[in-house]
Chain A
Amino acid sequence: GNSVTQMEGPVTLSEEAFLTINCTYTATGYPSLFWYVQYPGEGLQLLLKATKADDKGSNKGFEATYRKETTSFHLEKGSVQVSDSAVYFCALSGTGFQKLVFGTGTRLLVSP
């Protein structure tokens, strides 16, 4: 079945540091890939998505590129802020009646 593997956290960075959170997936066919973010005490929000190979999703300075050859969708941001502290979830969804499969989440802590 489909699955998502993302790096264990927490990831601890200083403000303005470069961020990478790794995500790899296993899926049949051509899934859509997502990054969701969960701020403390809140529900999940879509951060960005990509629906086909080589697509780049971007939002709020975050980027991720759908790499079919390496089955990866790593999240990057050039300069993190304290307000980016949250839990980040990589997820995939197939077509048809397919459920959204989440990774285990990676907590990001950014200090001033």
Chain B
Amino acid sequence: QVHLVQSGAEVKKPGSSVKVSCKASRGTFDNHSINWVRQAPGQGLDWMGGITPMFRTTKYAQRFQGRVTITADESSSTAYMELSSLRSEDTATYYCARVDLLGFFDYWGQGTLVTVST
């Protein structure tokens, strides 16, 4: 069983950045990727991007390109998602999830609420 534990809720000002962490409790990412999905209040799931730590490769959704940076520290089994130039529409719960080689999201973090407000 893999547990992904995310950092706590954040309140940010428009124009600032937020960095959310996701730690794998079992201590390793193995050869899986860690991806980030966000969900605005009352809305659906929106894939943002992901990283495969073993190969140090990243992939981002086109609409977030240039604003999102996903990194990973294998020594601490922690992945990070940083979103910059925040606006009110970025208010959402951000989830990390482990993705199997077949592309399904089998383990999820508990979610981190990011609120962007003046």
A and B form one complex: no
List chain A positions with a Cβ less than 8 A from chain B: none
Taking Cβ atoms with an 8 Å cutoff, the residues of B that contact A are none
